[in-house]
Structure 1
Amino acid sequence: MKLVYVFDAYCGWSHGFSGTLSEVVSRHPELPVEVVSGGLFTAGAKIAELTGAEFGESYERLISDGSFVMDSEAAARGVAALRQAAPARAAQLAIDLQHAFYVNGRSLSHPGTYRKVAEQAGLDADAVVSAFEGTEIRVAAGADFHRAASLGVTGFPTLLAVDGTSVTTLAHGHATADEIDRLLAALPAH
């Protein structure tokens, strides 16, 4: 069995779910996590209120004049480039990427953002930026959008347990790590 985390790096609810995802991953190191970009975005005050997620001043400045464009395809390319560099750390990299946007106000369309996240994670930043800017990664981003749709995901974030052909929704929008643990414990053992 593995976990499949379907999110959008520009989705505030996904950012709000970062703490839960981090906790679930730390509680279940035996479960591999596949991270899939879904292709949607929303905004933040209610999310902060419900989840406690931080939306930094830099983020508020970035979006304040209305000219900033959230490009989910660019963000999906960045997620794919980071995931390619360190597949086993994809969940943490997704969390780091959302921190870069929502707390540090970094555009997810800018290669420098992926360089910074890669450097902070101890990855080959040149390789990540090169992948982000390359054409092959566009195919990976498109494949993510297709995978999200094929899993029946209609909103973000969604955390699934996938065991062969069996797909169980563990979280949609918001859930606590304890709620997810209860659902995992209820799944049939293989």
Structure 2
Amino acid sequence: MKLIYVFDAYCGWSHGFSPTLREVTSLYPELDVEVVSGGLFTGSRRVPIREFGYVRGANAKIAELTGAEFGEGYDRLIADGSFVMDSQAAARGLAALRQAAPTRTVELAMALQHAFYVDGLSLSDPATYRKVAERTRLEADDVTSALEASETRAAAEADFARAAELGVDAFPTLLAADQEDVTVLARGRATTGEVKRRLAAFVSTRSS
């Protein structure tokens, strides 16, 4: 059995889910976690953030319900409304980081979200990945050089296809998978206790 975490680095609810994800993965260190970029802002949704008038209100709600931090750097980045969230670039970035440290993808995904939502760093900027790599003790040159590699682009597209294959259209979604059987542990928002109960119920059905 394993966990599958489908998120988007530019999704505020995914950022808010980080504390629960951290607790769940620490409670079940024996479970591998597959981290998948969902592709929230691609195609026609890759527009200036001012086009999404709900963002500020949603962030306030996320902070209220989850305690997630939205930093001054982030506020400055989006202040004039011109910033464009590009999930394809963020997915390539995650793929480059994942390639450097495959067993630390949960940590790296959360580090990306911290870089954007707290520090206000663009996930389309190679310098952001250099900073994230340095903070997480990875070889920064290897990560930044991988960003535009064809393999990294293919990995990002494979993530989007994987999310679609799993039927995930809301982020974040946390799944438990045992061979062909898959169940939803969290969608959008859930406490650690809720995830534990759903996982226990899934395990029970598999062992009965």
User: Cα deviation per residue 1:134-171 (whole Å; 9 max; x = unaligned)?
Assistant: 22211100000000000000100000001100010000
Matches of 1:189 and 1:30, distance apart in 2: 17
Matches of 2:93 and 2:10, distance apart in 1: 12
| 83-92 or 35-44: bigger deviation | 35-44
Q: Which has the larger radius of gyration?
A: 2
Matched residue count: 190
Q: Which residue does 1:19 correspond to in 2? A: 19
Contact 1:79–1:94 under 8 Å retained in 2 = yes
- Using the TM superposition, give the Cα deviation of residue 186 of structure 1 relative to its aligned residue in structure 2, in angstroms: 1.1
Contact 1:7–1:156 under 8 Å retained in 2 = yes
Q: Percent identity?
A: 70
Contact 1:38–1:148 under 8 Å retained in 2 = yes
Matches of 1:125 and 1:20, distance apart in 2: 28
Q: Are 2:198 and 1:183 equivalent residues in the alignment? A: yes
Contact 1:111–1:133 under 8 Å retained in 2 = no
- The one of 87, 90, 95 aligned to 1:80: 95
Q: Which residue does 1:3 correspond to in 2? A: 3
- Using the TM superposition, give the Cα deviation of residue 133 of structure 1 relative to its aligned residue in structure 2, in angstroms: 2.3
Q: Are 2:75 and 1:56 equivalent residues in the alignment? A: no
Any unmatched runs of 5+ in structure 1? none
Q: Which amino acid aligns with 2:149?
A: G
SS where residue 4 of structure 1 aligns? strand
Q: Which residue does 2:49 correspond to in 1? A: none
Matches of 2:96 and 2:38, distance apart in 1: 15
| 131-140 or 58-67: bigger deviation | 131-140
User: Cα deviation per residue 1:75-124 (whole Å; 9 max; x = unaligned)?
Assistant: 00001111111111100110111000000000000011111111111111
Matches of 1:82 and 1:177, distance apart in 2: 26
Cα RMSD, aligned residues only = 1.1
Q: Which residue does 1:40 correspond to in 2? A: 40
Q: Which residue does 1:137 correspond to in 2? A: 152
